[in-house]
Amino acid sequence: MNRIDEVLRFETLRSELQTIADEIAVRLAKSSFSPVIRDYLDFSTALCDPGGRLVAQGFSLPLHLGSIPRAIEAVLARFPEGLAPGDVVILNDPYNGGMHLPDVFCISGAHHDGEVVGYAVVVAHHADIGGRVPGGSAADSREIFEEGLRLPPVHLVERGKTNEALLEVIRSNVRLPDILVADLDAQRAGCESGSSELAALVDRVGRAQFEVAVEQIIDHSRRSLEAVIATWPKGCYEFTDVEDHDGISDNPVSIHVRVEIGDGRIVIDFAGTADQVGGSINSTLSFTESACYAAIRALCTDEVPVNAGFISLVKVRTTPGTVVHARFPAGVAARGVIGYRVIECIFGALSDALGDRIPAAGDGGTSGIRIGGYTTEGERFQLNDIVCGAWGARPDRDGIEGAATLAANVSNRPVEIVEREDPVRILSYGFVPDSGGPGEFRGGLAIRRAIQLLAPGATLNLRTHRNLTPPYGLHGGHPGSVSATLLRRDGRSEQLPAKVTTRIIAGDIIEHTTASGGGIGDPAERDREAVLLDIDEGKVTRAHARAAYGFKDEETA
């Protein structure tokens, strides 16, 4: 076989594996019932080799994908002989392969001549998993036992037979049993179709050739990342960021990172990071690792697939019992908070070394506004509203608005769909003028969304970010604005904490404003045409343009 044929065969097999992972994702999105999976696409898909190494990933959430090897590790520890044909295993226990309880992993094996040749994996965020607070993501739970139903690796299907007893246990512990089981069926179908397609691929090309291709794919990613790292300045870079609310107290929670670049690898060390906290923003090791992989991948200008080869060059060092590596039985329901902060810490650390590609801080992560209760007809509902605010300015352009952090890959849910499916009314939804951090390149604008409850009463759970600590600017750029949430009732307003669980009643209005994005560069250097365009589009008022950018009223287009 000549070199061209080898390259074509390699690229064909790599594309086929990628396509299988993507098709699992498409099937899940089209067959799921809950808005969290169907509309927000809060799920991820992947293929692994028999040893659990990540080989190919679907198009969804970066913050999930790096955790998949830990989930497979837990499954293989529980089932050391591997999964039999017709087996599907699920798990969600953060202390046994999972991340937080709403994220349920579903895993099935692909078989060739009676042996496992790989695994299909789907991890999806479910609308409710039980526990003390509807939605399962409350930041003010004090330990894992309050957060919902914990599932170690266990058969959902064993040799083709559904574990009906397990489904009954699940149904008895969650608020929306029909929706959860339907979504679990969609996950199962995605896994089973993915493993069948993977087995068919191995049958077609032969096991020996397939195994060679897997090694080549992993090695290709490793060598690609090595080449990228070789272009980065060697050295050690440090940064500290703060999460200003742990769900229980107002004590700031510091995240400190030291990034070492050199010798074809990257070491990310979290020595000096705060101990795990009383609230449930603590992160599992697997989720912290996933955030680190997402941050490094985002900084690669070349296409580098994230698989076991990529992961092998990123060493993450943590101390058990810290907020980035929680010890049992710490609460981890709102661990996304720390994942977002880890990424911005890494970006801050590398902002001088890689200044041509590092953005300023954004809104701190997607805001979670969860409202659960009963309609006037007595039917259970669960609104899981995710509000995506702004990115920080980028080195050569403004930040963007209304987009999720790069690690989440979700989107704001359309007003019409929210109002059709849940007993709420969206009273306002739009950008907040003057909120973006000033700079030569402006930070993205904050978003304000006001939701009125129409049901008789409900439980409100908030998980928001950067309420006290503003998004940082870089290279002379100014910080962005902080977030705020108001509870409006009977003509009065009450400012709510960044993370809280409370009761609300019919007519109450929850008005949430996200943080904005920090700026990059001296605001005095901002292009005057850009300032005029911002004024014309209503993103910046003339008064703010005068104060922040030295704009003069006589300046015109």
Token digits for 496? 């709510």
431 in a structural domain: yes
Closest CA to 360 of 387, 388, 397, 411: 397
- Reported as a single tens digit per residue, the pLDDT across 399-458 is 999 888 887 778 888 999 999 999 999 999 999 999 999 999 999 999 999 999 999 999
Residue 321 forms part of a structural domain: no
Question: The whole model's pTM is what?
Answer: 0.94
Distances (CA, A) of 385 to 34, 63, 147, 161, 215: 12, 19, 19, 36, 41
- Domain final residue pick, 180, 195, 218: 218
Q: Is 251 part of a structural domain of the chain? A: no
**Mean predicted confidence (pLDDT) in 358-384:** 94
Per-residue pLDDT, 59: 78
Q: What's the number of domains the chain is made of?
A: 2
Token code pair at residue 168:
């009954």
- Decide: residue 553, CB within 10 A, 0-12 exposed, 13-18 middle, 19+ buried: exposed
Asked whether residue 339 is domain-assigned, the answer is: no
* Confidence label for 244 from pLDDT (cuts 50, 70 and 90): confident
CB atoms within 10 A of CB 41: 21
pLDDT > 90? residue 326: yes
Structural domain contains residue 260: no
Question: Range of 453's domain?
Answer: 359-557
Residue 347 lies in a domain: no
Cα 430 from Cα 402, distance rounded (Å): 9
| In the predicted structure, residue 555 carries a pLDDT above the cut 70 | no
Smallest CA-to-CA distance from 179 within 352, 422, 2 is with 422
Rounded Cα gap, residues 154 and 139, in angstroms: 27
CA distance 48 to 308: 9
d(CA 425, CA 506): 11
> For residues 103 and 64, what is the distance between their CA atoms, to the nearest angstrom?
9
Spatial contact of 289 and 316, defined as CB atoms under 8 Å apart: yes
For the chain, what percent of residues have pLDDT higher than 90? 83
CA distance 176 to 135: 10
pLDDT digits (tens, 9 = 90+) for 276-325: 999 999 999 999 999 999 999 999 988 888 899 999 999 999 999 999 99
Report if residue 332 sits inside a domain: no
Confidence of residue 129 (pLDDT cuts 50, 70, 90): very high
What's the confidence (pLDDT) of residue 3?
65
| Residue at which a domain ends, from 218, 233, 258 | 218
Helix, strand, coil share (%) of the chain residues, nearest 5: 30, 25, 45
Q: How far is the C-alpha of 249 from the C-alpha of 246, rounded, in Å?
A: 6
Query: Residue 219 pLDDT > 60, yes or no?
Result: yes
CA distance 294 to 66: 8
For residues 32 and 232, is the Cβ–Cβ distance under 8 A? no
Strands (E), 361-403: 367-374, 380-387
- pLDDT confidence tier of residue 5, bands split at 50, 70 and 90: low
Does residue 249 sit within a domain? no
Among residues 177, 200, 218, the one where a domain terminates is 218
Mean local confidence (pLDDT), 242-258: 91
What is the rounded CA–CA span in Å between residue 105 and residue 295?
A: 23
Question: What pLDDT does residue 11 have?
Answer: 83
